[in-house]
Structure 1
Amino acid sequence: MWNNPRLRGPMAQALLLLFLGLLISDLAYNTVQNLASRHIVSGWEFLWRKAGFEISFSLIPYSGEQNYARALLVGLLNTLSVSICGIVLATVLGLLIGVMRLSRNWLAARMAALYIEVMRNVPLLLQLFIWYKLVLKPLPDVRDAITWGGMALSNKGLAVPAPEFGQGAWALPAGLAIALAITLILRQWSAARQVATGAHFPLLPVAAGLVIVLPLLCFALAGWPVNFNFPVAGNFGFRGGATLVPEFMALVLALSIYTAAFIAEAVRAGIEAVARGQSEAAVALGFQPSLAMRLIVLPQAMRVIIPPLTNQYLNLTKNSSLAVAIGYPDLVSTGGTIIGQTGQAIEVVLVWMGVYLFLSLLTSAFMNWFNTRNRLVER
């Protein structure tokens, strides 16, 4: 039977499934026995019990009188905020460093190469401690904070004015939505016009002007229904305004600067993968070097850049769990506190796994869609 190829494959798969089933059942049995010996009751009822602990940084209202589910939600939002800010900053910085790496300017190219080599080879956790312990925490106290333009930087974080919107504030998002709709229409029209006539329409500056000017114009017509609450220094921190705690700033800086080095290498590889004749043809047609890079080289390089870029986005999101090392209340840190209070380790770990799995799959799905739109289409 084993020599029969029609039977050998199904038999091997059946044996593998049997082995996995036995392994999972053994793990489940040991888990149940260990929980019973420690008098730990499994289940999700603990989520609705009072948390009883405070969280130092929260994007939504939270107090220790609320339940564990609310605490986990606060941790999730903190993780998302760090990941999104880190991805945006890492993408912009990585693109700039990657282009600088191929610059004809000797100093710019060597500085970019030095940045890439140093940042890629220094562990992320060490960089996190450097930003937190050596850069942000030694800043002046609140009373001696560095102030400019209504903002203040101290060892308690960055305090910025907080907007307080009144009636008519809907005009700002309404104007932004109108500007985005006009931009999409202009994009389709400019693409059709360029195909028909070959004339290039300056879509980027026009779109930037629409997105900035139109919402402000709608907001002005509504009477500027906004007031700013400026931070005021107190004995133990700032009153009023909004404060970015040093843990958040250190984590975003470390994640973005570290990941940008890997993104820069992906950008460099993507640009070098484009045939040199493409840029030479653009110069022969009269394109400025910056315009040739933006319109000719980078769109073709994106087909090579996007797959490794996806991996770096996933790594940055998962590396945000290092926040526990500096006390930033992300999902892992908040869940660790809950485990210490309730002993519901299995449930909290399952929440961790589910959240990071969902975020990774969502990021991968978006980047795969983006990759599909940028792939080479053959006739």
Structure 2
Amino acid sequence: MNYNWHWGVFLEQAAQNETYLDWMISGLKVTIALGLTSWVIALAIGSVLGVLRTVPNKWLSGLAAAYVEVFRNIPLLVQLFIWYFVGPELLPGGEAIKQMNPFAQQFLAAMLCLGTFTAARVCEQVRSGINSLPRGQTNAGLAMGFTLSQTYRFVLLPMAFRVIVPPLTSEFLNIFKNSAVASTIGLLELAAQGRQLVDYTARPYESFIAVTLMYALINIVVMLVMRWVEARSRVPGFIGSK
């Protein structure tokens, strides 16, 4: 391939007191912050909905199932546009949202979008984890005098979360990769900074190789952390133990 590689482009000055590498690091920080905050929302909402999917009350389980069907079947990009363009017009306090600085508006919309979208997937993981447990665990908890909510809290959920660590790891990784769609509303996360660098330097290969390596770095760190969590939470003699 007749291409003149120039990796030193990242050290060239992009703006006052900033290099192109600073742009990439800034995008990396935004991607990490967006992924982590969205994951907190997804895990919290998804866990509650996952429990509701398994309770005897048909209305509650039906409500959780409806949430999953809506958020899982509408394309992520469409959901992002709804949160960014339509949400401020419909949500209480919409005027305050519209008066935020552009970065805050973009970050908030992307965070809520990724969080609520991933929550539907986490919900199904939690539901599957609870349903995979022997029926006797529920009966044992109730026989000991626990209420249903106490049985979930002290018996079912501690075991279910141990079972679903591997699939939750995949969802955790996906939330960082899905964050790239936020560039469509102007948020300068990692992918957007890569495209901006191409526009300014006409160095597409160097730019997107760097973006790829940074996404790979995020994935490696997440995998190592989740493997540590899985090892620490493993129950001897149960699923996934050695």
Residues 244, 287 of structure 1: alpha-carbon distance in 2 compared, 3 angstrom cutoff: farther
Letter in 2 for 1:153: A
Please state if 1:345 is matched with 2:204: yes
| Among candidates 97, 105, 109, match of residue 246 of structure 1 | 105
| TM-superposed deviation, 1:139 | 7.5
Provide the C-alpha distance between the structure 1 equivalents of 2:22 and 2:158, rounded to a whole number of angstroms. 43
Secondary structure of 1:104's match?
coil
- Shift in Å, 1:376: 3.0
Which of 16, 20, 45 does residue 8 from structure 2 map onto?
Answer: 45
Q: In the alignment, what sits opposite 1:105?
A: 57
**Match status 1:303 vs 2:188:** no
Counterpart among 195, 205, 230 of residue 371 in structure 1: 230
Shift of 1:104: 2.3
Counterpart mapping for 1:1-379 below 5 A: 30=1, 33=2, 35=3, 41-52=4-15, 64-136=16-88, 138=89, 146=93, 153-157=96-100, 245-378=104-237
Letter in 2 for 1:361: I
Quick one: percent identity of the two aligned structures?
33
Contact 2:103 2:187 (C-alpha < 8 Å) held by counterparts: no
Assess, with a 3 A threshold, how the Cα gap between structure 1 residues 89 and 337 changes in structure 2: closer, same or farther: same
Deviations for 1:164-197, whole angstroms, at most 9, x for unmatched residues?
A: xxxxxxxxxxxxxxxxxxxxxxxxxxxxxxxxxx
CA distance in 2, matches of 1:281, 1:139: 46
TM-score, reference length from structure 1: 0.59
Give the drift of 1:299: 1.7
CA distance in 2, matches of 1:92, 1:154: 23
Change (3 A) 1:78 1:282: same
SS of alignment partner, residue 377 of structure 1 = coil
- Structure 1 residue ranges without an equivalent (≥5): 1-29, 36-40, 53-63, 158-236, 238-242
Please give the alpha-carbon distance, in whole angstroms, between the structure 2 residues aligned to 1:375 and 1:74. Answer: 37
For the aligned residue pairs, the C-alpha RMSD in angstroms reads 2.2
Deviating beyond 4 angstroms after TM superposition, the runs of 4 or more aligned structure 1 residues are none
Q: So what's the TM-score if we normalise by structure 2?
A: 0.91
Give the drift of 1:266.
Answer: 0.5
> What number of residue pairs does the alignment pair up?
238
Question: How far apart, CA to CA, are the structure 1 residues paired with 2:146 and 2:171?
Answer: 32
Change (3 A) 1:146 1:294: closer
Q: From the two aligned structures, give the one with the greater strand fraction.
A: 1
Structure 1 distance, partners of 2:18, 2:169, is: 37
Determine the C-alpha separation between the residues in 2 that align with 1:156 and 1:329: 19
The 8 Å contact of residues 130 and 160 in structure 2, kept in 1 or not, is answered as: yes
Structure 2, unmatched stretches of 5+, are none
Residue matched to 1:3: none
Q: Distance in 2 between matches of 1:289 and 1:336?
A: 52
- Kept in 2: contact 1:269–1:304 (CA 8 A): no
- CA distance in 1: counterparts of 2:12 and 2:230, whole angstroms: 44
Instruction: Tell me by how many angstroms 1:316 deviates.
Output: 0.6
Bigger relative contact order, structure 1 or 2 (CA pairs below 8 A, ≥6 apart): 2
Q: Is the 2:118–2:171 contact (alpha carbons within 8 Å) kept by the matching residues of 1?
A: yes
Letter in 1 for 2:126: V
Distance in 2, Cα, partners of 1:244 & 1:350: 26
TM-superposed deviation, 1:290 = 2.0
Amino acid at match of 1:337: Q
Distance 1:333 1:96 in 2: 33
Instruction: Note the C-alpha offset of 1:292.
Output: 1.6
SS of the aligned residue for 1:51 comes to strand
Change (3 A) 1:263 1:146: closer
